[in-house]
Structure 1
Amino acid sequence: MSWVEYEVMSGNKKAALNNIKEIGYGYAIIGGAGPIEFYEKACRAVVIPSI
């Protein structure tokens, strides 16, 4: 289990998102995200509509 997975499972979403950024990823897809407003505020997330 990676640190990012551990942080997500432990509920530390903001730390997980920061680690994803530090690793060098330009974006991440968060499946089943909720509440969406948290991600919009915390990391300027954009909802990708389902087709």
Structure 2
Amino acid sequence: MRVAFCLYKYFPFGGLQRDFMRIAQTVAARGHQVRVYAQTWGRRVPG
């Protein structure tokens, strides 16, 4: 399944963003294709 997440702002050290990343990684680990869209992206790209 293809799953897209849309966020207004992604900053890797915020609580909401940290929870979001955990969900996205779990979905990807279950074999789904994950894409993340954000209007603003702060700092590094997660690996």
Same fold by TM-score greater than 0.5: no
Question: What is the TM-score when the length of structure 1 is the normalising length?
Answer: 0.34
* Structure with higher helix content: 1
Bigger Rg, structure 1 or 2: 1
Question: What is the TM-score when the length of structure 2 is the normalising length?
Answer: 0.35
Structure number with greater CO (CA < 8 Å, separation at least 6) is 2
